[in-house]
Amino acid sequence: MNHLLLKSHAKVNIGLQIRNQRPDGYHNIHTIFQELDFHDTIKLEKRDSSCQFSSNVDWLPKDDSNLCVKAWQKMVDAFGLGGVSIELEKRIPAGGGLGGGSSNAATILKGLRRLYELDVSDDELEIIGLDLGADVPFFIKGKTQIGNGVGEILKPIETIINGCYLLVAPDLHIDTKWAYGELKNILDRPNEVVNFLGFIRKEIIPFELFENDFEAIVVPAYPEIGQIKNSLRVHGARFASLSGSGSTVFGVFDEDADAKSAESHFSSRYNTFITNPTL
C-alpha cells in the first residue's frame, strides 16, 4: 500500500460542562462528542523520508508547526516509520469548535498506521494523540462518545444523536484561551455533573438540560451567536447550541427538508453546512 484517501470528520459537543481547573492549568470537562459526516479530505502517499505537506488553504503553515506534520513526527519517533506526502483539502472552518485540526491530526495517525501496516491499537494512538491536542483522542474512534478529563477520558456509546445537523459558521474567531480565561465566575458556582448519557437514552430527550457552559461567556461578548441560536430554534431545530467554545452554532432537525428550509435563512450571511452523524 503506497497511498490512501481519507475522510477527516468534524464533531460537535452535545452539552458541555466545564467542571474545574486542574493544577496543570487545563480544565476538566464533561460532554458528549458527536462525530459528523462533514469532513476534510486527506491524501497520504509514502515517501522515502521527510514529510511534505500541501493544502488548498493558505493560512495553514507547511513547516513542523503544522499539526499534521507533528502527527507524522510523533509516529516516526514512536515507530521509526518512513516519510509521507500529505495533501489536505480543508472544508471544516478553522476556529469554529468543530475540531478540524484535531481531526486532521487523528486521521494522520490512523492513516500512517494503515499505510505502514503497523500493529498499533486505538488505545495507543489515543495516548500519542493526547500530546497533540485534547480533542485528538476522540477522533481515533470517533462516532458518539462521552468525554471527561480534558476530553481524553472517553466512553463510546451506542446511542447517537440522530437528526439532520445544520451548521452555521459566522465570520468570528473566538479565542479558546480567552473563553477559558473568562470561566472563573462559572467555576465558582456549585454544579453537579449532568447525566448526559442517561438523558439521551430517554424516549424523549430533554435537550433543555444539554447546556454548553461556554454560551454564558460567549453570547454576551458576541450577541450574534445568541441570535443565530434563537433563529435556529424559531426555524424548527429541536436542539441548538454552540459547539465547543465556538464560533459555530448548530441546530438538530428531525427532517432534512426542515434543515434545508432553515438553511435558506442563513446561507446569504454565513457559511452553512448540512450533515448527519457518522454511523
Known catalytic residue at 11: yes
Buried b (16+ CB within 10 A) or exposed e, 121-132: eeebbbebbbeb
Taking the C-alpha atoms of residue 149 and residue 265, their distance in angstroms, rounded to an integer, is 38
What are the φ/ψ torsions at residue 107 (nearest 5 degrees)? Answer: -65, -35
Known catalytic residue at 77: no
Q: Which of 11, 74, 90, 141 is catalytic?
A: 11
Report long-range pairs for 21-24 (Cβ below 8 Å, ≥24 apart): 21/183, 21/187, 22/150
CB 277 within 8 A of CB 144: yes
CB 242 within 8 A of CB 214: yes
Q: Which of 135, 141, 213, 258 is catalytic?
A: 135
Taking the C-alpha atoms of residue 252 and residue 132, their distance in angstroms, rounded to an integer, is 30
What is the residue-wise DSSP string for 32-49?
EEEEEEEEEEEEEEEESS
Which amino acids are annotated catalytic? Answer: 11, 135
